Structure 1
Amino acid sequence: MNKAAEKTSQQVESIFVSPMRSYTLTALDYYDQIVSAQLDAVRAYSDLSIAQARTWLDVKDADSFKKAMESQQKTASDLMERMKGDGEKVTAISQSFMKDSQQAAEDTTKKVVETAKQ
Protein backbone atom coordinates (compact mmCIF):
# COMPACT_ATOMS: atom_id res chain seq x y z
CA MET A 1 0.00 0.00 0.00
CA ASN A 2 2.86 2.38 0.84
CA LYS A 3 4.53 1.74 -2.53
CA ALA A 4 1.29 2.50 -4.35
CA ALA A 5 0.92 5.79 -2.50
CA GLU A 6 4.55 6.66 -3.21
CA LYS A 7 4.07 5.85 -6.91
CA THR A 8 0.92 8.00 -7.04
CA SER A 9 2.76 10.83 -5.31
CA GLN A 10 5.59 10.60 -7.84
CA GLN A 11 3.11 10.58 -10.71
CA VAL A 12 1.34 13.67 -9.35
CA GLU A 13 4.70 15.39 -8.95
CA SER A 14 5.76 14.41 -12.47
CA ILE A 15 2.49 15.17 -14.23
CA PHE A 16 1.15 18.21 -12.37
CA VAL A 17 3.48 19.84 -9.83
CA SER A 18 6.74 19.86 -11.79
CA PRO A 19 5.17 21.19 -15.02
CA MET A 20 3.29 23.89 -13.10
CA ARG A 21 6.49 24.93 -11.33
CA SER A 22 8.30 25.03 -14.68
CA TYR A 23 5.52 27.06 -16.31
CA THR A 24 5.42 29.47 -13.37
CA LEU A 25 9.17 30.06 -13.65
CA THR A 26 8.82 30.65 -17.39
CA ALA A 27 5.91 33.04 -16.83
CA LEU A 28 7.77 34.96 -14.12
CA ASP A 29 10.78 35.34 -16.40
CA TYR A 30 8.48 36.57 -19.19
CA TYR A 31 6.78 39.13 -16.95
CA ASP A 32 10.14 40.30 -15.62
CA GLN A 33 11.41 40.85 -19.17
CA ILE A 34 8.22 42.61 -20.29
CA VAL A 35 8.13 44.92 -17.27
CA SER A 36 11.82 45.74 -17.74
CA ALA A 37 11.26 46.52 -21.41
CA GLN A 38 8.28 48.73 -20.56
CA LEU A 39 10.19 50.59 -17.85
CA ASP A 40 13.12 51.15 -20.22
CA ALA A 41 10.73 52.46 -22.87
CA VAL A 42 8.94 54.79 -20.46
CA ARG A 43 12.27 56.13 -19.24
CA ALA A 44 13.49 56.74 -22.80
CA TYR A 45 10.22 58.41 -23.85
CA SER A 46 10.27 60.60 -20.74
CA ASP A 47 13.88 61.60 -21.35
CA LEU A 48 13.06 62.52 -24.96
CA SER A 49 10.05 64.57 -23.88
CA ILE A 50 11.94 66.44 -21.19
CA ALA A 51 14.85 67.16 -23.52
CA GLN A 52 12.43 68.47 -26.14
CA ALA A 53 10.67 70.67 -23.58
CA ARG A 54 14.03 72.13 -22.53
CA THR A 55 14.82 72.85 -26.19
CA TRP A 56 11.57 74.81 -26.56
CA LEU A 57 12.27 76.75 -23.35
CA ASP A 58 15.47 78.04 -24.98
CA VAL A 59 13.58 79.62 -27.91
CA LYS A 60 14.27 83.35 -27.86
CA ASP A 61 14.44 84.37 -31.50
CA ALA A 62 13.89 83.13 -35.06
CA ASP A 63 17.21 81.26 -35.16
CA SER A 64 16.58 79.38 -31.91
CA PHE A 65 13.01 78.67 -33.12
CA LYS A 66 14.46 77.12 -36.28
CA LYS A 67 16.83 74.99 -34.21
CA ALA A 68 13.96 73.89 -31.98
CA MET A 69 11.93 72.86 -35.03
CA GLU A 70 14.87 70.88 -36.40
CA SER A 71 15.30 69.28 -33.01
CA GLN A 72 11.59 68.45 -32.97
CA GLN A 73 11.88 66.65 -36.31
CA LYS A 74 14.94 64.69 -35.18
CA THR A 75 13.25 63.79 -31.90
CA ALA A 76 10.15 62.57 -33.75
CA SER A 77 12.35 60.42 -35.98
CA ASP A 78 14.30 59.07 -32.99
CA LEU A 79 11.05 58.35 -31.16
CA MET A 80 9.64 56.40 -34.11
CA GLU A 81 12.83 54.33 -34.33
CA ARG A 82 12.75 53.71 -30.58
CA MET A 83 9.09 52.65 -30.71
CA LYS A 84 9.82 50.30 -33.60
CA GLY A 85 12.71 48.74 -31.66
CA ASP A 86 10.61 48.46 -28.51
CA GLY A 87 7.84 46.74 -30.46
CA GLU A 88 10.31 44.28 -31.93
CA LYS A 89 11.76 43.60 -28.48
CA VAL A 90 8.33 42.88 -26.97
CA THR A 91 7.47 40.65 -29.93
CA ALA A 92 10.70 38.66 -29.49
CA ILE A 93 10.08 38.26 -25.75
CA SER A 94 6.50 37.12 -26.38
CA GLN A 95 7.54 34.66 -29.09
CA SER A 96 10.17 33.18 -26.80
CA PHE A 97 7.58 32.78 -24.05
CA MET A 98 5.15 31.07 -26.43
CA LYS A 99 7.88 28.72 -27.67
CA ASP A 100 8.92 27.82 -24.12
CA SER A 101 5.28 27.33 -23.07
CA GLN A 102 4.56 25.09 -26.05
CA GLN A 103 7.67 23.02 -25.34
CA ALA A 104 6.64 22.62 -21.71
CA ALA A 105 3.14 21.52 -22.78
CA GLU A 106 4.63 18.96 -25.18
CA ASP A 107 6.95 17.64 -22.46
CA THR A 108 4.05 17.33 -20.04
CA THR A 109 1.96 15.50 -22.62
CA LYS A 110 4.81 13.03 -23.19
CA LYS A 111 5.10 12.43 -19.44
CA VAL A 112 1.36 11.80 -19.17
CA VAL A 113 1.48 9.32 -22.03
CA GLU A 114 4.51 7.56 -20.54
CA THR A 115 2.86 7.41 -17.13
CA ALA A 116 -0.35 6.06 -18.60
CA LYS A 117 1.59 3.25 -20.31
CA GLN A 118 3.07 2.12 -16.99
Structure 2
Amino acid sequence: MNKTTEKTTQQIESVFVSPMRSYTLTALDYYDKLVSAQMDAARAYSDMAISQARTWLDVKDTDSFKKAMESQQKAANDFMERMKGDTEKVTSISKSFAEDSQKQAEETTKKAVETAKQ
Protein backbone atom coordinates (compact mmCIF):
# COMPACT_ATOMS: atom_id res chain seq x y z
CA MET A 1 0.00 0.00 0.00
CA ASN A 2 2.88 2.37 0.73
CA LYS A 3 4.18 1.97 -2.85
CA THR A 4 0.71 2.69 -4.22
CA THR A 5 0.48 5.87 -2.16
CA GLU A 6 3.95 6.93 -3.27
CA LYS A 7 3.11 6.27 -6.93
CA THR A 8 -0.14 8.21 -6.64
CA THR A 9 1.69 11.11 -5.00
CA GLN A 10 4.26 11.13 -7.81
CA GLN A 11 1.51 11.05 -10.42
CA ILE A 12 -0.31 13.96 -8.79
CA GLU A 13 2.96 15.90 -8.62
CA SER A 14 3.74 15.12 -12.25
CA VAL A 15 0.30 15.72 -13.72
CA PHE A 16 -1.09 18.55 -11.58
CA VAL A 17 1.29 20.24 -9.15
CA SER A 18 4.38 20.63 -11.33
CA PRO A 19 2.48 21.95 -14.38
CA MET A 20 0.49 24.36 -12.20
CA ARG A 21 3.68 25.65 -10.62
CA SER A 22 5.24 26.08 -14.07
CA TYR A 23 2.17 27.89 -15.40
CA THR A 24 2.09 30.14 -12.35
CA LEU A 25 5.71 31.13 -12.90
CA THR A 26 4.97 31.86 -16.56
CA ALA A 27 1.94 33.95 -15.62
CA LEU A 28 3.87 35.89 -12.98
CA ASP A 29 6.62 36.62 -15.49
CA TYR A 30 4.00 37.79 -18.00
CA TYR A 31 2.30 40.12 -15.52
CA ASP A 32 5.67 41.45 -14.35
CA LYS A 33 6.65 42.31 -17.93
CA LEU A 34 3.21 43.74 -18.72
CA VAL A 35 3.06 45.97 -15.64
CA SER A 36 6.64 47.10 -16.24
CA ALA A 37 5.80 48.05 -19.84
CA GLN A 38 2.70 49.92 -18.68
CA MET A 39 4.61 51.77 -15.99
CA ASP A 40 7.32 52.76 -18.48
CA ALA A 41 4.67 54.00 -20.90
CA ALA A 42 2.80 55.95 -18.22
CA ARG A 43 6.03 57.59 -17.11
CA ALA A 44 6.96 58.53 -20.67
CA TYR A 45 3.49 59.95 -21.40
CA SER A 46 3.44 62.00 -18.21
CA ASP A 47 6.96 63.30 -18.94
CA MET A 48 5.78 64.37 -22.41
CA ALA A 49 2.75 66.13 -20.97
CA ILE A 50 4.76 67.97 -18.32
CA SER A 51 7.33 69.01 -20.89
CA GLN A 52 4.62 70.43 -23.13
CA ALA A 53 3.00 72.26 -20.23
CA ARG A 54 6.34 73.88 -19.42
CA THR A 55 6.78 74.85 -23.07
CA TRP A 56 3.40 76.59 -23.13
CA LEU A 57 4.14 78.40 -19.85
CA ASP A 58 7.15 79.99 -21.55
CA VAL A 59 5.02 81.61 -24.29
CA LYS A 60 5.48 85.38 -24.05
CA ASP A 61 5.39 86.63 -27.64
CA THR A 62 4.70 85.47 -31.20
CA ASP A 63 8.14 83.93 -31.61
CA SER A 64 7.82 81.80 -28.45
CA PHE A 65 4.24 80.93 -29.52
CA LYS A 66 5.57 79.70 -32.86
CA LYS A 67 8.22 77.61 -31.07
CA ALA A 68 5.57 76.17 -28.74
CA MET A 69 3.42 75.20 -31.74
CA GLU A 70 6.41 73.49 -33.38
CA SER A 71 7.18 71.73 -30.13
CA GLN A 72 3.54 70.65 -29.89
CA GLN A 73 3.70 69.11 -33.37
CA LYS A 74 6.93 67.27 -32.54
CA ALA A 75 5.46 66.06 -29.24
CA ALA A 76 2.37 64.75 -31.04
CA ASN A 77 4.57 62.82 -33.49
CA ASP A 78 6.73 61.49 -30.66
CA PHE A 79 3.61 60.47 -28.75
CA MET A 80 2.24 58.54 -31.73
CA GLU A 81 5.56 56.77 -32.27
CA ARG A 82 5.78 55.91 -28.58
CA MET A 83 2.23 54.54 -28.59
CA LYS A 84 3.02 52.43 -31.64
CA GLY A 85 6.13 51.02 -29.95
CA ASP A 86 4.29 50.39 -26.68
CA THR A 87 1.49 48.59 -28.51
CA GLU A 88 4.00 46.39 -30.31
CA LYS A 89 5.78 45.65 -27.02
CA VAL A 90 2.57 44.62 -25.24
CA THR A 91 1.51 42.53 -28.23
CA SER A 92 4.87 40.75 -28.22
CA ILE A 93 4.67 40.08 -24.47
CA SER A 94 1.13 38.73 -24.82
CA LYS A 95 2.01 36.57 -27.82
CA SER A 96 4.96 35.07 -25.97
CA PHE A 97 2.76 34.30 -22.96
CA ALA A 98 0.11 32.65 -25.14
CA GLU A 99 2.73 30.51 -26.89
CA ASP A 100 4.35 29.48 -23.61
CA SER A 101 0.97 28.65 -22.08
CA GLN A 102 -0.04 26.56 -25.08
CA LYS A 103 3.28 24.67 -25.01
CA GLN A 104 2.85 23.96 -21.30
CA ALA A 105 -0.73 22.77 -21.84
CA GLU A 106 0.44 20.39 -24.57
CA GLU A 107 3.22 19.04 -22.35
CA THR A 108 0.80 18.59 -19.44
CA THR A 109 -1.66 16.73 -21.65
CA LYS A 110 1.10 14.48 -22.94
CA LYS A 111 2.26 13.72 -19.38
CA ALA A 112 -1.30 12.99 -18.29
CA VAL A 113 -1.79 10.54 -21.16
CA GLU A 114 1.52 8.82 -20.39
CA THR A 115 0.65 8.62 -16.70
CA ALA A 116 -2.79 7.20 -17.45
CA LYS A 117 -1.19 4.44 -19.54
CA GLN A 118 0.94 3.32 -16.60
Which TM class, normalised by the smaller chain length? over 0.9
Task: Specify the code of the residue in structure 2 equivalent to 1:83.
Answer: M
Cα-to-partner distance string for 1:63-112 (whole Å, 9 max, x where unaligned): 00000000000000000000000000000000000000000000000000
Structure 1 runs not aligned, ≥5 long: none
Aligned counterpart, 1:82: 82
Structure 1 stretches of 4+ with a deviation exceeding 6 A read: none
TM-score in terms of structure 1 length: 0.99
TM-score in terms of structure 2 length: 0.99
Cα distance in 2 between the residues matched to 1:89 and 1:57: 34
Task: Please state how far the C-alpha of 1:42 moved relative to its aligned partner.
Answer: 0.3
Q: 2:75 aligned with 1:71, yes or no?
A: no
Aligned counterpart, 1:91: 91
Task: Please state how far the C-alpha of 1:35 moved relative to its aligned partner.
Answer: 0.3
Cα distance in 2 between the residues matched to 1:20 and 1:112: 13
Cα distance in 2 between the residues matched to 1:21 and 1:50: 43
Aligned counterpart, 2:28: 28
Q: Percent identity among equivalent residues?
A: 79
Structure 2 runs not aligned, ≥5 long: none
Cα-to-partner distance string for 1:26-59 (whole Å, 9 max, x where unaligned): 0000000000000000000000000000000000
Q: Aligned-pair RMSD on alpha carbons?
A: 0.3
